[in-house]
Amino acid sequence: MSTNNYILNVEDIHKSFGNKEVLCGVSFGVRKGDTKVFIGPSGTGKSTLLRCINQLTPPDRGRVWLHGEEVTGSGPRINHFRQKIGMVFQNFFLFDHLSAIENVEIALLKVKKMKKEEAREKALSELRQVGLEDWADHYPAELSGGQAQRVSIARALAMDPDVILFDEPTSALDPELTREVLEVMRKLAQQGMTMLVVTHEMSFACSAATEILFMENGVIAEQGAPETLLSDPQYTRTRNFLGQLTD
Amino acid sequence: MDQITFLTEILLPALMSGLVVTLQLIAVSAPFGLLLGIGVAVGRQYGGGILSPVCKVFVYLIKGTPLLLLLIILYFGLPSVGITFSAFTASVIGFILCNGAYNSEYIRGAILSIKDGQMVAAQALGMTRLQAIRNIILPQALIRAIPGLSNEFIYLIKYSSLAYMLTVIELSGAGKLVATKYFAYTETFMVVGLVYLALVTITTVAVNLLEKHVSVPGMIRGETSAMQL
């Protein structure tokens, strides 16, 4: 395989659910510091693609490589890779029985076997990063959706991942809360975090993406830098899709 | 002999030594019954093709047969195949099996009520299934199972009296001996009943305190924050 400085390689991913083929051969490479934004109609496999990368949904065919090590078919070593591939979910999935800081801490303690004080300090600094250090002792049910999603971003950040997968991180939020989450994500992108983002937020895609990938019917139909993809007339399918969004 | 003397000199000392045995039965049975319940619930839910059916059959058998039958087999039946337990041990084993089987159902119900996302998020952080079960699923399940588990603990207090059938002189057995000897059934068993009532009352108060202590905002009683979308 070619390297091209890619830290993450996705090769020819296929995935079917029953008779429906959701992903029909998706390949791309990710460089350090990239922010790749996946857009496209619902049901075209964007979320499934993210889950195939960290093997929450193992693909039927195709391979995923992280730093030249194969993630697919890695057996129990998958837990090593998942520490390096963070994930943020549409519905946050914060651990209901743990406070905000405990949510960020738990994997540091149980997976990374960090010492208590060290984990607490690290968790607090990640909460500070998302602007929630004052909310450390609040439980998920006491947080707004935007705050909950920021805690879940802090939880992913705490593992010092090489890349973070964002699966429609603002789709469950109203516009105001969406803004505070996107602000955090934009800041991460500027700090050089490598991110793969499935979203419908075109303003974020335009301002933060290094590349936009338009997915349709289980494949990457068109891809390119935001300025070219959105202005160049040759990318008709992306423009048609975006036209529908604004109609 | 007047009632007061009977009560203070005969009945209460006898019941006191019986109560000690009852408390010993419970003190040994309850923790192991809880551990067994956790093990069986997790085994049934996550155990896969072999362990899961085994757990299911175990619960089926315990739920489907009287506890007294189990105790009789443990104490009177097993010696014929060379396994002999003391009456106390046989009782405790029976109670643990019974308590564990029912506890497992409460815990399993609680596990089923936890949304898939909790496990998914734990695994996405690099936790193994076992780590996720221990650190994420079980803590939540146990909090939600407290009402059921405490109910089962109360049953244990009361069915511990069945140990008397295996010659263990616990609270009810001690009462029976006094009642027979002095032909004072009504008084004796009314007092015995009051002692059980006291035990159950203490348990209820303790469980309420425990529930308050472990309660997590928004996690039980279906509370949802108005802010939560």
* Average confidence (pLDDT) over A112-133: 96
Domains of chain A (ranges; CATH) run: 6-246 (3.40.50.300)
Q: Which two tokens stand for residue A12?
A: 């020819």
Band (B223; pLDDT cuts 50, 70, 90): very low
Alpha carbon dihedral A68, A73, A76, A79, in 10-degree steps, equals 50
In 3D space, the residue among B221, B139, B149, B110 whose CA is nearest the CA of residue A99 turns out to be B139
Q: pLDDT per residue over B168-219, tens digit each?
A: 999 999 999 999 999 999 999 999 999 999 999 999 999 999 999 998 887 7
Q: What percentage of chain B's residues is helix, strand, coil (to nearest 5)?
A: 85, 0, 15
Band (B163; pLDDT cuts 50, 70, 90): very high
Strands (E), A1-125: 6-17, 20-31, 35-39, 61-66, 69-70, 85-88
Q: B117 CB contacts (<8 Å, ≥6 apart)?
A: A89, A91, A93
Measured between beta carbons, the chain A residues lying within 8 angstroms of B123 are 56, 82
- Is the distance from CB of A214 to CB of A203 less than 8 angstroms? no
Task: Name the CATH architecture for the domain at B3-214.
Answer: Orthogonal Bundle (1.10)
Q: How many CB pairs under 8 A join A and B?
A: 98
Query: Backbone dihedral region of A222: left (phi > 0), alpha (psi from -120 to 50 degrees) or beta?
Result: beta
Q: pLDDT per residue over B15-71, tens digit each?
A: 999 999 999 999 999 999 999 999 999 999 999 899 999 999 999 999 999 999 999
Residue A109 in this model has a pLDDT that exceeds 70: yes
Percent of chain B with pLDDT over 90: 87
Say what the pLDDT of residue A234 is: 78
Say what the pLDDT of residue A232 is: 77
- Is the distance from CB of A96 to CB of B219 less than 8 angstroms? yes
Residue B153 in this model has a pLDDT that exceeds 90: yes
Q: Which two tokens stand for residue B175?
A: 């009462």
Alpha carbons B72 and A152: distance in angstroms, whole number: 55
* Average confidence (pLDDT) over A9-15: 96
* Average confidence (pLDDT) over A44-67: 95
Residue B16 or residue A1, greater confidence: B16
- Is the distance from CB of B108 to CB of B99 less than 8 angstroms? no
Alpha carbons B94 and B28: distance in angstroms, whole number: 12
Q: Where are the domains of chain B?
A: 3-214
Phi, psi of A63 (to 5 degrees): -135, 155
In 3D space, the residue among A145, A18, A29 whose CA is nearest the CA of residue A91 turns out to be A145
Please give the mean pLDDT across all residues of chain B: 93
What distance in Å separates residue B28's CA from the closest CA in chain A? Answer: 29
Say what the pLDDT of residue B222 is: 46
Alpha carbons A135 and A32: distance in angstroms, whole number: 31
Measured between beta carbons, the chain B residues lying within 8 angstroms of A177 are 229
* Average confidence (pLDDT) over A150-177: 95
Tokens 């319940």 belong to: B37
Mutate to test the interface with A, among B111, B119, B125, B130 (most CBs of A within 10 A): B125
Most distant CA pair in chain B: distance in Å?
74
- Asked whether the beta carbons of residue B217 and residue A141 sit closer than 8 angstroms, the reply is yes
- Asked whether the beta carbons of residue A172 and residue B123 sit closer than 8 angstroms, the reply is no
- Say if strands A163-167 and A6-17 run parallel, antiparallel, or are unpaired: unpaired
In 3D space, the residue among A218, A219, A217, A214 whose CA is nearest the CA of residue A236 turns out to be A214
Please give the mean pLDDT across all residues of chain A: 92
Beta-bridged to residue B185, according to DSSP, are: none
Measured between beta carbons, the chain B residues lying within 8 angstroms of A107 are 122, 125-127
Alpha carbons A114 and A9: distance in angstroms, whole number: 30
Say what the pLDDT of residue A231 is: 78
Say what the pLDDT of residue B58 is: 98
Alpha carbons B7 and A42: distance in angstroms, whole number: 78
Residue B9 in this model has a pLDDT that exceeds 90: no
Of B125, B143, B216, the CB nearest to A107: B125
Residue A1 in this model has a pLDDT that exceeds 60: no
- Asked whether the beta carbons of residue B126 and residue A79 sit closer than 8 angstroms, the reply is yes
What distance in Å separates residue B1's CA from the closest CA in chain A? Answer: 60
Look up the ipTM and state it: 0.92
Residue B85 in this model has a pLDDT that exceeds 80: yes
B131 touches chain A (CB under 8 A): yes
Measured between beta carbons, the chain A residues lying within 8 angstroms of B118 are 93, 95-96
